[in-house]
């Protein structure tokens, strides 16, 4: 493995970098250009028996006329312009009809008690928010409660909430913020609300939410929020190339590297691998399927012993850097939008992407590889099979007037319920529930659901290990992790850019984490 020399103008270690601001800075040019904001802001963005979906009826009208046109698409951040024939059938938006018997008694009681109440919601500009907005009119008509959305770009939301938490009744919370928000007393523990059948009707069904999402919205036994949108990291394979060259899908991370190496430059302008790697995102990339599956994680949650510089953690970073090196020129500066668009242009055989990108990849008007992609979770490593999990959730503000909490909880109950989950997805929302993953119609409409659920199952493996005290969760349940992320991510970025060797980067990261822990009195 190549180890580049240190560069004189390296990233400064003493500049704290917010995760959300870092991500926005890296990709803000490409976000709007690629899909005109269709899923900009999604994070950014789990096992068990399947619950039966509440019966609904889908009414869908299809226009019989089809049109075929020659369409030229330039994908921002990609290497080429794609010209292809596009045949499309115009389909009207589905309409979901939910039996009134399921919810009407609840709605009437809510309206009697809280009709006329206005609740202010701090929201991020994401597709989840857009889907919820489409459901507000119905909610207000049946409950009399009027939600008012104060929506800002996701990179500004955390600061906005922390500056004036008493201004809001409902908070949209990134999973990364939960340890800090609990420690600061920003959110209400939802466990009593969920356990009260008068407040939470049976059709909400908390247990139907994938356990990886549920576990990510807890801090110890404190249930901080209800998942409303989420993501993992999924491996995309060019199925057509796999079949063309007779390749088998990898069974472990070593075989994944071998497969990417096989395809690297196998054809003109074809690269073996593409993944977000730029300095503000490098740590997330390292965490996706190397730090926990090959390495030892950040620290021992029982003793706070630093583990990111152990020999196995150094091997993990060596693996991550070697995978990055199988990318196209300039890979070390790619954010998730740029890496996705490169894959969509047909210039990478394999890639690691946020699951939120799957709709782009399957859109024939944006992607040259639509219909040619296999979606699978990352294969296991020597330490086990663990996948990423991140996302957005809804919480009750602990700083808001208590007399509004019941109305705010009614809003969360309706919007995030199993009862309304299919409608929410069809309006552009993000899947979070086991019943939706198993829904036959949704599985046909969204062929990547199977791969997403498998990724979330892997994410739950890590949560179970953390609950047993052996590892941290993928997002460590430590209020200081935001500071740690900001300090460590540019260091990992230097390893990707060959400005530091993996060993040097891991040692520098360990020093930063130790310093933060010492300053906070953890060690």
Asked whether residue 481 carries a pLDDT value surpassing 70, the answer given is yes
Query: Domain 113-231+390-449 carries which CATH code?
Result: 3.40.190.10
Highest mean pLDDT among 44-58, 182-196, 344-358: 182-196
**Which neighbouring-strand residues pair with 95?**
59
Question: Is residue 392 a contact partner of residue 174, using CB atoms and an 8 Å limit?
Answer: yes
Calculate the alpha carbon distances from 39 to 125, 126, 226, 406, 456 in Å.
9, 6, 21, 31, 20
Asked whether residue 420 carries a pLDDT value surpassing 60, the answer given is yes
Domain ranges in the chain are 113-231+390-449, 233-386+480-520
Please state, in angstroms and rounded to a whole number, the distance separating the CA atoms of residues 287 and 285.
Answer: 5
Asked whether residue 356 carries a pLDDT value surpassing 90, the answer given is no
170, burial (CB in 10 Å: exposed 0-12, middle 13-18, buried 19+) = buried
What pLDDT does 99 receive? 62
Determine the average pLDDT of the residues in 507-518: 98
Distance of CA 315 to the CA centre of its chain: 26
Helix (H, G, I), strand (E, B) or coil at 296: coil
- Domain 113-231+390-449 identical in fold to domain 233-386+480-520: yes
Per-residue confidence band for 355, with pLDDT thresholds at 50, 70 and 90: confident
What pLDDT does 97 receive? 56
Determine the average pLDDT of the residues in 315-322: 97
Name the pTM for this structure: 0.78
Chain mean pLDDT for the chain? 83
Asked whether residue 46 carries a pLDDT value surpassing 80, the answer given is no
| Mode of pairing for the β-strands spanning 222-223 and 146-152 | unpaired
Helix (H, G, I), strand (E, B) or coil at 215: helix
At 69, which helix (H) or strand (E)?
Answer: strand 62-74
Asked whether residue 24 carries a pLDDT value surpassing 60, the answer given is no
What pLDDT does 382 receive? 96
Q: Which residue has the higher pLDDT, 403 or 412?
A: 412
Determine the average pLDDT of the residues in 31-51: 30
Calculate the alpha carbon distances from 523 to 179, 302, 305, 467 in Å.
19, 12, 9, 22
Which residue, among 432, 323, 314, has the nearest Cα to 378 in the 3D structure? 323
Please state, in angstroms and rounded to a whole number, the distance separating the CA atoms of residues 363 and 36.
Answer: 14
Asked whether residue 482 carries a pLDDT value surpassing 60, the answer given is yes
Per-residue confidence band for 95, with pLDDT thresholds at 50, 70 and 90: low
| CATH fold for domain 233-386+480-520 | D-Maltodextrin-Binding Protein; domain 2 (3.40.190)
CB neighbours of 383 closer than 8 A, spacing ≥ 6?
Answer: 292, 293, 294, 295, 296, 312
| Mode of pairing for the β-strands spanning 390-396 and 146-152 | unpaired
Please state, in angstroms and rounded to a whole number, the distance separating the CA atoms of residues 313 and 417.
Answer: 40
Asked whether residue 86 carries a pLDDT value surpassing 80, the answer given is no
Per-residue confidence band for 436, with pLDDT thresholds at 50, 70 and 90: very high
Asked whether residue 44 carries a pLDDT value surpassing 50, the answer given is no
Please state, in angstroms and rounded to a whole number, the distance separating the CA atoms of residues 311 and 213.
Answer: 31
What pLDDT does 337 receive? 82
Please state, in angstroms and rounded to a whole number, the distance separating the CA atoms of residues 179 and 480.
Answer: 8
What pLDDT does 281 receive? 79
Question: Is residue 221 a contact partner of residue 342, using CB atoms and an 8 Å limit?
Answer: no
Helix (H, G, I), strand (E, B) or coil at 433: strand
DSSP annotation of 397 reads B
Task: Tell me how many degrees the CA angle 497-501-503 measures, rounded to the nearest 5.
Answer: 135
What's phi and psi for 17, nearest 5 deg?
-125, 120
At 27, which helix (H) or strand (E)?
Answer: helix 19-35
Asked whether residue 343 carries a pLDDT value surpassing 70, the answer given is yes
What pLDDT does 336 receive? 75
DSSP annotation of 280 reads G
The model's pLDDT over 446-467, given as tens digits with 9 standing for 90+, comes to 999 999 999 999 999 999 988 8
Asked whether residue 352 carries a pLDDT value surpassing 60, the answer given is yes
Element counts in the chain: helices (H) and strands (E): 21, 15
Question: Is residue 241 a contact partner of residue 332, using CB atoms and an 8 Å limit?
Answer: no
Per-residue confidence band for 104, with pLDDT thresholds at 50, 70 and 90: very high
Q: Which residue has the higher pLDDT, 291 or 24?
A: 291
DSSP letters along 365-430, please? TT-TTTT-EEEEPPPPBTTB-----EEEEEEEBTTS-GGGHHHHHHHHHHHTSHHHHHHHHHTT--
What pLDDT does 145 receive? 98
Residue 385's region, left for phi above 0, alpha for psi from -120 to 50, else beta, is beta
Q: To the nearest whole percent, how much of the chain has pLDDT over 70?
A: 80
Please state, in angstroms and rounded to a whole number, the distance separating the CA atoms of residues 336 and 238.
Answer: 18
Determine the average pLDDT of the residues in 240-266: 98
Question: Is residue 370 a contact partner of residue 363, using CB atoms and an 8 Å limit?
Answer: yes
Asked whether residue 1 carries a pLDDT value surpassing 90, the answer given is no
CB neighbours of 472 closer than 8 A, spacing ≥ 6?
Answer: 297, 298, 299, 301, 466, 478
Per-residue confidence band for 98, with pLDDT thresholds at 50, 70 and 90: low
CB atoms within 10 A of CB 80: 13
What pLDDT does 14 receive? 35
DSSP annotation of 379 reads P
Mean pLDDT lowest among 75-84, 276-285, 354-363:
75-84
């Amino acid at each position: 493995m190549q180890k580049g020399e240190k560069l004189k103008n390296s990233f400064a270690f003493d500049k704290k970098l917010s995760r959300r601001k870092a991500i926005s800075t890296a990709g803000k040019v490409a976000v709007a250009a690629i899909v005109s904001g269709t899923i900009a802001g999604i994070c950014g963005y789990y096992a068990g028996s399947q619950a039966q979906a509440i019966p609904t009826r889908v009414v869908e009208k299809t226009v019989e006329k089809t049109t075929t046109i020659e369409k030229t698409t330039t994908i921002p951040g990609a290497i080429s312009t794609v010209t292809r024939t596009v045949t499309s059938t115009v389909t009207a938006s589905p309409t979901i009809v939910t039996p009134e018997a399921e919810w009407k008694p609840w709605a009437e009681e809510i309206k009697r008690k809280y009709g006329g109440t206005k609740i202010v919601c701090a929201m991020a500009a994401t597709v989840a928010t857009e889907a919820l907005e489409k459901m507000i009119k119905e909610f207000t008509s049946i409950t009399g409660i009027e939600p008012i959305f104060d929506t800002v770009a996701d990179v500004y939301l955390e600061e906005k909430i922390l500056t004036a938490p008493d201004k809001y009744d409902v908070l949209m919370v990134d999973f990364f913020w939960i340890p800090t928000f609990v420690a600061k007393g920003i959110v209400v523990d939802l466990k009593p609300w969920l356990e009260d059948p008068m407040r939470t009707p049976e059709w909400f069904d908390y247990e139907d939410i994938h356990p990886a999402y549920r576990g990510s919205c807890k801090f110890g036994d404190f249930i901080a929020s209800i998942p409303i949108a989420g993501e993992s990291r999924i491996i995309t394979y060019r199925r057509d190339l796999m079949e063309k060259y007779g390749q088998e899908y990898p069974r472990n991370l070593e075989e994944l590297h071998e497969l990417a190496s096989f395809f690297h430059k196998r054809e003109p302008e074809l690269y073996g691998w593409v993944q977000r790697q730029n300095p503000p995102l490098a740590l997330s990339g390292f965490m996706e399927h190397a730090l926990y599956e090959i390495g030892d994680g950040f620290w021992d949650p029982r003793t706070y012993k630093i583990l990111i510089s152990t020999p196995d953690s150094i091997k993990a970073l060596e693996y991550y850097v070697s995978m990055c090196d199988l990318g196209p020129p300039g890979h070390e500066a790619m954010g998730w939008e740029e890496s996705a668009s490169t894959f969509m242009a047909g210039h990478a055989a394999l890639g690691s992407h946020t699951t939120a990108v799957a709709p782009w990849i399957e859109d024939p008007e944006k992607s040259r590889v639509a219909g040619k992609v296999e979606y699978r979770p990352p294969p296991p490593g020597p330490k086990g099979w663990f996948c990423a999990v991140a996302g957005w959730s809804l919480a009750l503000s602990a700083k808001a007037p208590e007399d509004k909490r019941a109305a705010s909880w009614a809003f969360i109950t309706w919007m995030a319920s199993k009862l309304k989950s299919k409608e929410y997805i069809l309006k552009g929302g993000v899947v979070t529930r086991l019943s939706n993953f198993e829904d036959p119609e949704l599985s046909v409409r969204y062929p990547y659901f199977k791969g997403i659920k498998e990724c979330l199952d892997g994410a739950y493996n890590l949560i179970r290990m953390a609950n047993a005290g052996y590892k941290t969760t993928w997002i460590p349940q430590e209020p200081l992790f935001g500071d740690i992320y900001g300090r460590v991510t540019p260091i990992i970025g230097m390893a990707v850019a060959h400005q530091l060797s993996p060993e040097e980067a891991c040692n520098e990261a360990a020093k930063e984490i130790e310093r933060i822990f010492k300053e906070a009195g953890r060690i």
